[in-house]
Amino acid sequence: MSFRHTTGFEIEFGDCDPVGIVFYPNYYRWMDAAARHFFLAAGVPSWTETAASDGIIGAPLLETSARYLKPATYGERIAVDTSVAEWRGKSFVLAHAIRRADTVLVEGSETRVLVRRHPDDPARIQAVDPPAWFREKLA
């Protein structure tokens, strides 16, 4: 079983559409924020620190998806449960379950890859295999 972390958010009025339900792009914003909180809670150093030690400058997205099950509105507290669902060579998939109390509202995923500056052209980035320390922290 992999490391799991929960990040909490309060839905604000501005997070909702005119009907009063959460505007769907906000779920992606919360998943992205939850991913960073997940890394920090697992003990992954800041990207500034990993850039200095391993050359890793971040974990950009390759793909995202979301399945909307129930609506939510302003004033509600939600939680995003995050874990690694799959390792795929250089990439990995984060699973996110966004819930209000015990009710799952959204099932989402993000496929990410660790990157460094390309050695031949620093304006480009290059995917790298996740180092052993990174995988161990998320295990």
Say how many C-beta atoms besides its own lie within 10 A of residue 34's C-beta: 25
Residue 54 appears among annotated catalytic residues:
no
Number of Cβ within a 10 Å radius of residue 83: 17
Query: Catalytic residue among 15, 17, 32, 129, which?
Result: 17
Could you please report the per-residue DSSP string of 57-96? EE--EEEEEEEE-S---TT-EEEEEEEEEEEETTEEEEEE
CB contact at 8 A, 3 and 139: yes
> Which active-site residues does the annotation give?
17
